[in-house]
Structure 1
């Protein structure tokens, strides 16, 4: 169950990153409120996952999901630049997440 909480926490990280972008540096009220709300949920789920997962694993996977998810959301919804190097970098992050999951001692 900890991995489920961790994955959901990572997805909420993507959501709060998107709303942070929409908040224009916390100058727009509702995107700012959404950022803080989704951030709270993400941190809470991460903390629940850390009850049974090693901190290094949980934090690495959480940030990796957030990083790759933010890259995808930026490319798809915000028309941010995509090139081969950025896609390879995202692929390496995904590979790291998979290796963390497969590593013994989880």
Structure 2
């Protein structure tokens, strides 16, 4: 259950990073509001997961999901550049997240 919270928190981190970009320096109201909601939800779920998980593993998975998700979102929906190296790097981040999760780091 705690890992599910971390995964959801990581997905919300993707949301707050994208909304941060769309807020244009907090000058657009609705993306700024969405950023605040996504950030609150993400940090809240991460905080709950830390009751049961080691901070290092949980934080690494949280940031890995957020980084990979944000990069993928940017390439798919925001027209950011993509390359074989960028896709390989995202794959390696995801592989690291999976490795941490199955490494027996959970109590």
* TM-score, scaled to structure 2: 0.96
Matches within 5 A, 1:81-96: 81-96=81-96
Consecutive unaligned residues in structure 2, runs of 5 or more: none
Question: CA-atom RMSD, angstroms?
Answer: 0.7
Match of 1:68 in 2: 68
* 1:104 shift after superposition: 2.0
User: Is it true that 1:25 corresponds to 2:38 in the alignment?
Assistant: no
- Alpha-carbon distance in 1 for matches of 2:25, 2:88: 29
After TM superposition, the structure 1 = structure 2 runs for residues 1-106 of structure 1, keeping only pairs within 5 Å, are 1-106=1-106
- Separation of aligned partners in 1, 2:102 and 2:5: 17
Number of matched pairs: 106
Task: Return the TM-score normalized by structure 1.
Answer: 0.97
Distance 2:30 2:95 in 1: 35
Look up the SS of the partner of 2:12 in the other structure. helix
Q: CA deviation at 1:29?
A: 1.2
Distance in structure 2 (CA, Å) of the matches to 1:19 and 1:35: 5
